[in-house]
A and B are shown apart, each in its own frame.
Chain A
Amino acid sequence: MQTFPKSEIPRAAFPARILGIGNAGTHLADQLSMSAGADCEVLAMNTDAQSLFASVTSRKSTLGAKATRGLGAGGDPEVGYEAAQESIEEIRFAVEGASTVILLAGLGGGTGSGAIPTAAAAAREAGAFVLAIVTMPFSFEGRRRDRQATEALEALTGQAHAVIRFDNDRMADLTSPLGGIGETFQASDALLTDCVTSFLEMLSGRGPIPMNLGNLLTVLRDGSSCALFGRGASQSDNRAHEAIERALKSPLLDRGRMLDDAEAVVAHVSGPPSLSYAETSAIMQELGRHVPEDARLFLSVSLEDSPASPVTVTIFGSYAEQPASRSVERPMPARTTQPVARTSAAPVPPVAPKPNLNPKQADTPSETDQPARPEADPPHEAPREAPHDPSPDVRTQPASDDFLHPSPPGRLFGEDGTIQPPPAEPPTATPTPVPPPPQKRTSRVQPSAAPAKKPATPKAHQETLQFEPAARGRFDKSEPTIVEGEDLDVPTYMRRGHKL
């Protein structure tokens, strides 16, 4: 194993440990360890010894050396799972003592999909806050991969505290359709590393309005449904507006349009000491225009020491699952067993591992660490000390609480971050521990259908959605004139709602 100087820095200095699993994960870990921004411990784990050998991360370990003989998992999650089980001690050692563990993987293949739930469970057991950042395969990679990814994601959701999902299909929008494929991948890598670094920044930043894990959990709690991320930075005169503009331009936000369906949004603003109140409020106002009224909006502000540092706006968010491409497939998993059984032994595993995993790891923590009623302790500092408890599945009834605490009073500066899930979740939550896989599936169907208020929100916003592109007319392609958070290029009568 190659050792890099970084590993000599004492452990305590690292706020987080980053674990890249599988080929995609290793690649991302490489990117992160090379980019200067991430001063944390980066590890890579893979079944493929060759790819691991080429990795530049400070620590790496081969998963399932016996099971795969270092040849990779061959796109089979079952093999990945076996490998992870075989190397469970190594995984435990890797996550030991870290307060935050960030897992990176590309789902749909063998190692990433198979091993990441195990790794998440191990990290959680070790008492860390677990964030998983995963990519979903391109749709052209076929149904099978998509299904494996969806299933792995479900298994992962039960284990990690938070999951941020990036759809590769959407990442393709990062560059022009005619751009080189290398360019596209580079851009998507950059976005993912941005996501990790900004997440760390958010947690480590010091400033007037700190972000705590509780708030983050509220937003990311929905696990797989968190797929909103945007980041923008600017140093110009008009830095606040430019930063938020750039953040909204992220393809994962679709120029801010995706935020129309957002349920909860975290905005992190970091900047030099000269960052003014007016700038912060301009950023939040601009963001507020894209986020539905009833969404929870959390703000954190941190200040950098250097006066030359740019104003950076980072947006994380979760949205109500729309009946989109993925949800079409959602019914499939219920039937998976049949096609799976038909094809061969291989496909069976994707379903199988989860049952194994979930009862084992998800339940253990929740039963041991979490007394009978998890809902009794909503305070949000909690997750740090007892990271096992806020397991999305375990949290129960507080639906009612949810309506008492949340957003209305403090939209801007948020309450202390209620982790309680929305009304949709509880039904799933209670039964989860017993038979996880089928339950989860139901749970995932429900959120899209059940909450009565959700469908209403998108509808209300569709109007503005149509408006936006047309509204700027001749100024469509020019730099927007934003004064006091309003885009002056949009006709005044439209903004003021004058009826013509």
Chain B
Amino acid sequence: MARSEILVGVEVGTSKVCAVVAESMRNEDLRILGAGLVPSKGVRKGEVVDLKLATECLHDALSKAEMNSNIEIDDVAVAITGSHIASFTNRGGITIPEGYMAIDEQALRDVAIKAREVSLPDDHTFLHSIIQHYYVDNQPGVLNPLGLIGRRLEADVHIIHGAKARVQNTLRCVDSQEVKIEEVVSGGLASSHAVLNDNQREMGALLIDIGGGVSDYIVFTEGVVNKSGVLAVGGDHVNNDISLGLRIPLTRAEKLKIEEGSALIGQSLPGEKITLKNDAGFSGKEIEREMLNTIIHARIEEMFTLIHKQVMAGISVHELRAGVFLTGGCSLLRGIREVAESVFDLPVHLAHDTGVSGPTPILNNPVYSTAIGVARFVQTRRAEEGDPSPIRTVWDQMKKLFGMK
């Protein structure tokens, strides 16, 4: 099997580290060969805070994935997230030199470079620059200007960037595993590759990947990325809230959230109680179900409200006809869809990964969507470039990050 057909997506997340090994199919589908998932340590809010612990977890996850897929992992693509990731849209343009000539590929490359010419904060590095639209002689909304006639070509580029040092931390973790880093992908963008299909992007969709430490969101309108961002609130916050509110340990709080919790209020009977099971010296404490749900509801609603505020500035509801898609581990929370519906006033779907086949039942688990998305991102990238093995060494990657040539 040619190496280039194997794709490995890695996510070093706040609650889990996972690696997905996939194979690229002829029909552009992705077949999952195996995956490794390990509860994460040393990661807070999507960023590595203890390199040693995180590296150990990653090592275990990669070993598991190798074992499950029976493939030796060489090149990996890594998802990056964290509150430091930010994005904006920039427009740049060039004048086609010899009068009215057809726009050729060189012009497209030039305009892409021109539009990328922005100054990021000193300590930041580019993660992605995605062309949104072209303008030919100020005519907006040109999707593919190749061959069109025009004097001036402009492009809107969505630029996603992150703090160099923090990106490095995650990469160092992977680097120590004797694998090559093929690609670095922002978490939100990666998830969108796993969850949204072309049709949904065309119709306009908001994807929210609610992870353990952070929530990545990304908005597609008319088939292209319109906005993206990271809100450093995730499932961990819900656990923390429950733990503080009910005065129970964090692990207990998480278990309670998964087993009993719901983001909906007013659904339980008045005075309905949950008895905390009597394990490990924990006396059978009773708590009110409504109290638990109130805590969860407040957090989830606030999270959606904040994202709504950031996303909906400048975008109308009609541009998001496909609606809102929720993925990530926390999207498994009961009632989360209803809360999202009430906040966004849009149809809300709990995403399950589409267009992926494979032997394992992991595919319907939103926990994997980022890692799968990373693999898919690389698949798309390779297809676009036409080069079967655009393998960059770690060294190249580092050089790129530091802006060296």
Please determine whether B121 and A236 come into contact, CB atoms closer than 8 angstroms.
yes
**Nearest CB on A from B374, distance (A):** 24
Q: Which of A10-18, A369-377, A489-497 contacts B (4 or more CB under 8 A)?
A: A489-497
Please determine whether B86 and A491 come into contact, CB atoms closer than 8 angstroms.
no
**Residues on the B chain within 8 Å of A399, using CB:** none
Please determine whether A474 and B86 come into contact, CB atoms closer than 8 angstroms.
no
**Residues on the A chain within 8 Å of B301, using CB:** 492
Please determine whether B245 and A493 come into contact, CB atoms closer than 8 angstroms.
yes
How many residues on the A side are at the interface (Cβ–Cβ under 8 A)?
Answer: 23
Mark contacts of A457-474 with chain B using CB atoms, 8 A cut-off: 1 yes-contact digit, 0 otherwise: 000000000000011111
**Nearest CB on A from B312, distance (A):** 15
How many A-B residue contacts, CB cutoff 8 Å? 75
Please determine whether B231 and A236 come into contact, CB atoms closer than 8 angstroms.
no
**Residues on the B chain within 8 Å of A481, using CB:** 45, 83, 231-233
SS of A interface (majority): loop
With A470-B244, A474-B243, A478-B44 already in contact, the answer to whether A488 and B233 are too (CB < 8 A) is yes
| Assembled-state Cα–Cα distance A410/B223 (Å) | 48
Q: Could you say which of A236, A471, A479, A500 contacts B45, with CB atoms under 8 Å apart?
A: A479
**Residues on the A chain within 8 Å of B84, using CB:** 237
Please determine whether B241 and A491 come into contact, CB atoms closer than 8 angstroms.
yes
Please determine whether B237 and A488 come into contact, CB atoms closer than 8 angstroms.
yes
How many residues on the B side are at the interface (Cβ–Cβ under 8 A)?
Answer: 31
| Assembled-state Cα–Cα distance A228/B27 (Å) | 68
Please determine whether A483 and B306 come into contact, CB atoms closer than 8 angstroms.
yes
**Nearest CB on B from A274, distance (A):** 11
Please determine whether B243 and A473 come into contact, CB atoms closer than 8 angstroms.
yes
Interface centre among B123, B239, B241, B291 (most CB of A within 10 A): B241
| Assembled-state Cα–Cα distance A225/B86 (Å) | 44
**Nearest CB on B from A483, distance (A):** 6
Please determine whether B243 and A493 come into contact, CB atoms closer than 8 angstroms.
no
Closest residue of chain B to A496 (Cβ to Cβ) is B298
**Nearest CB on A from B271, distance (A):** 14
B401 part of interface (Cβ distance < 8 Å): no
B124 part of interface (Cβ distance < 8 Å): yes
With A474-B250, A491-B295 already in contact, the answer to whether A236 and B123 are too (CB < 8 A) is yes
In residues 15-51 of chain B, which contact A (Cβ within 8 Å)? 44-45, 49
A498 part of interface (Cβ distance < 8 Å): yes
Q: Could you say which of A472, A478, A488, A493 contacts B294, with CB atoms under 8 Å apart?
A: A493
Please determine whether A475 and B86 come into contact, CB atoms closer than 8 angstroms.
no
Please determine whether B237 and A489 come into contact, CB atoms closer than 8 angstroms.
yes
**Residues on the A chain within 8 Å of B44, using CB:** 475, 478
SS of B interface (majority): helix
Closest residue of chain B to A493 (Cβ to Cβ) is B298
Closest residue of chain A to B310 (Cβ to Cβ) is A483
| Assembled-state Cα–Cα distance A115/B381 (Å) | 76
Closest residue of chain B to A237 (Cβ to Cβ) is B121
B252 part of interface (Cβ distance < 8 Å): no
Please determine whether A498 and B298 come into contact, CB atoms closer than 8 angstroms.
yes
Please determine whether B121 and A498 come into contact, CB atoms closer than 8 angstroms.
no
**Residues on the B chain within 8 Å of A496, using CB:** 298, 302
Please determine whether B298 and A237 come into contact, CB atoms closer than 8 angstroms.
no
In residues 178-233 of chain B, which contact A (Cβ within 8 Å)? 231-233
Please determine whether A474 and B236 come into contact, CB atoms closer than 8 angstroms.
yes
| Assembled-state Cα–Cα distance A25/B7 (Å) | 68
Please determine whether B241 and A492 come into contact, CB atoms closer than 8 angstroms.
yes
| Assembled-state Cα–Cα distance A161/B11 (Å) | 60
| Assembled-state Cα–Cα distance A235/B121 (Å) | 9
| Assembled-state Cα–Cα distance A472/B236 (Å) | 12
B163 part of interface (Cβ distance < 8 Å): yes
**Residues on the B chain within 8 Å of A236, using CB:** 121, 123
Please determine whether B49 and A500 come into contact, CB atoms closer than 8 angstroms.
no
Please determine whether A492 and B302 come into contact, CB atoms closer than 8 angstroms.
yes
| Assembled-state Cα–Cα distance A177/B83 (Å) | 33
**Nearest CB on B from A132, distance (A):** 40
In residues 79-138 of chain B, which contact A (Cβ within 8 Å)? 83-84, 86, 121-124
B299 part of interface (Cβ distance < 8 Å): yes
In residues 288-305 of chain B, which contact A (Cβ within 8 Å)? 291, 294-295, 298-299, 301-302
Q: A491-B295, A493-B299, A496-B302 are in contact. List 10 more A-B contacts (CB 8 A).
A: A237-B163, A474-B236, A475-B240, A478-B45, A484-B306, A488-B302, A491-B240, A492-B298, A492-B299, A493-B298
Interface set of B (CB-CB < 8 Å, partner A): 44-45, 49, 83-84, 86, 121-124, 163, 231-233, 236-237, 239-241, 243-245, 250, 291, 294-295, 298-299, 301-302, 306
Interface set of A (CB-CB < 8 Å, partner B): 235-237, 470-475, 478-479, 481, 483-484, 488-489, 491-494, 496, 498, 500
10 closest cross-chain pairs (CB), A and B: A491-B241, A492-B298, A481-B232, A493-B298, A473-B240, A492-B299, A492-B302, A473-B244, A500-B291, A478-B44
